[in-house]
Amino acid sequence: MSQVLYDAPGPKALARSRVISWVVAVLVLGGLGFAIFQLSGQGLFDADRWDIFNDPLVWLDLLNALVTGTLAAAGLAAIGAIALGVVFSLLRSSTIKWVRIPTTVVLEFFRGMPVLLLILFILLVFGVPAFWSVVIALALYNGTIIGEALRAGLRALPKGQREAGLAVGMRPLQSRLLIEFPQAFRNMLPIIVAQLVVLLKDTSLGYIVGMTELVRRGRLTSEFFGAGQYAFSVYFVVVAMYLTVNLSVSFLARRLARRRGQRLDTGRLKEGGMGDQSAVGNAPIIGAADGAAGGDGSGTS
């Protein structure tokens, strides 16, 4: 929590805080109210712009696209991405030069390619079905990000961990897999989960190869019934579905993070970006609990 940065507020500060809160509330509600007023002035909340949602078939289509398109692709890609991430991080933190350097080159390539292009490439070059080209592209891209996170996690561990492992006679790889890796993975869990949310959102790029997923299906639905009339309402429902799914995932991640926090308690990196290994041995100034699932910020493509 942020208490370190300021004192518990006194009466004056509380009063000021209350004033600011009111101003903010008025501003936000006013803005929202204005937007809603404008939108309803356009008739966007009229019943005839929403009546398609009386049809259970429309819901069925959207949910079907969510489950068999978005979630199925995301689930498979997530498994692949974590597996690849593990492999990448081990290869890239290898002590052998001719393992490390080629891996780095490959990683840089996948990290720098827009996912949109990666999907197209895989479809064109390998000729796999559209669904799988999306899954493979997402697994590759997010695998590199997760791999980098895990590598950062490995480097963030106190040197003593590895030294102790080697000292008791473990081979380097044994020490990596049995001692360092489990710790790094646990420490980086929030980042990994945040990246999985990114992955889930990126399934929407499957439209480029004609994979049916939630965004595409929503667009088709609104176009079929008349985009002028239903684009807004379908958009609204699709966003709500994404928020529901993603916030559930984030919530889960936060639960995991908190449980881990209890077990490992102090002296650990609570949350950090890929480039952030320097927090070891210090409690964070801003706790993880009030934040999002993880603060990696390696966005999407």
Partner 1 sequence: MRLKRMSAAVGGIALAALLAGCGAPGSAGNDGGSDGGTEEETPTGDGPYNLEIAENPEFDAGTTMAELAEEGSITIGTKFDQPLFGLLGTGDVPEGFDVAIGALVASKLGIPFDSIEFRETVSANREPFIQNGEVDIVVATYTINDTRKEVVDFAGPYFEAGQSLMVLAGNPEGIEGPEDVEGQPVCSVEGSTPAATIVEEYGAELVATDVYSNCLDPLRGGEVVALTTDNVILSGFVAQNEGEFELVGDTFTKEPYGIGLEKGDDNFRTFINDVLEEAFEDGTWERLFEETAGQVLEVPEPPMVDRY
Partner 2 sequence: MEVILDNLPLYLRGFGMTLYLLGLTVLFALPLGALVAALRISPVPSLRVVAAVYTEWLRNTPLTLVFFFIAFVLPRIGARLDYEIGAVVALTLYTAPFFAEAIRSGVNAVPVGQAEAARSIGLTFGQTLGNVILPQALRGVVPPLINVTIALTKNTSVATGFFVFTLVSTGQRLANQNGDQVIPILLGVAFFYLVITIPLGQFADRLEERVVVNR
- Of residues 48-77, those binding partner 2 (CB under 8 A): none
CB of 224 to partner 1, least distance (A): 5
Q: Site residues for partner 2, window 187-206 (CB under 8 A)?
A: 197, 201-202, 204-205
Is residue 115 at the binding interface for partner 2, with CB under 8 A as the rule? Answer: yes
Q: Site residues for partner 2, window 154-193 (CB under 8 A)?
A: 155
Q: Pick from 87, 106, 220, 280: which binds partner 1 (CB under 8 A)?
A: 220
Is residue 173 at the binding interface for partner 1, with CB under 8 A as the rule? Answer: no
Query: Which uninterrupted H or E stretch holds 154?
Result: helix 130-156
The tokens for 283 are 């409690």
d(CA 179, CA 174): 8
Q: Site residues for partner 2, window 94-113 (CB under 8 A)?
A: 108-109, 111-113
Is residue 130 at the binding interface for partner 2, with CB under 8 A as the rule? Answer: no
Is residue 114 at the binding interface for partner 1, with CB under 8 A as the rule? Answer: no
The tokens for 287 are 């706790």
Is residue 275 at the binding interface for partner 2, with CB under 8 A as the rule? Answer: yes
Is residue 192 at the binding interface for partner 1, with CB under 8 A as the rule? Answer: no
Is residue 15 at the binding interface for partner 2, with CB under 8 A as the rule? Answer: no
Give the interface segment with partner 2, choosing from 164-172, 176-184, 231-239, 256-264 (CB under 8 A). Answer: 231-239
51 binds, among partner 1, partner 2, none (CB under 5 to 8 A by kind): none
CB 134 within 8 A of CB 207: no
Burial class (CB within 10 angstroms; exposed 0-12, middle 13-18, buried 19+) of 257: buried
Strands in 40-147 per DSSP E: none
Is residue 130 at the binding interface for partner 1, with CB under 8 A as the rule? Answer: yes
d(CA 203, CA 130): 12
50 DSSP 8-state letter:
T
Q: Pick from 5, 47, 57, 96: which binds partner 2 (CB under 8 A)?
A: 5
The tokens for 114 are 């827009």
Give the interface segment with partner 1, choosing from 10-18, 29-37, 211-219, 281-289 (CB under 8 A). Answer: 211-219
Largest CA distance in the chain: 75
The tokens for 62 are 């959207």
Of the two residues 61 and 276, which places its CB atom closer to partner 1 in the complex? 61
The tokens for 124 are 């064109």
Is residue 39 at the binding interface for partner 1, with CB under 8 A as the rule? Answer: no
Of the two residues 115 and 179, which places its CB atom closer to partner 2 in the complex? 115
Residue 145 in 3-state DSSP?
A: helix
Q: Pick from 30, 172, 226, 267: which binds partner 1 (CB under 8 A)?
A: 226
Is residue 120 at the binding interface for partner 1, with CB under 8 A as the rule? Answer: yes
CB 210 within 8 A of CB 284: no
Does residue 6 come out as left (phi exceeding 0), alpha (psi in the -120 to 50 range) or beta?
A: beta
Which of 97, 96, 95, 77 is closest to 85 using CA atoms?
A: 77
Burial class (CB within 10 angstroms; exposed 0-12, middle 13-18, buried 19+) of 129: exposed
Binding site for partner 1 (CB under 8 A): 55, 57-58, 60-61, 120, 123-124, 127-130, 207-210, 212, 216, 219-221, 223-229
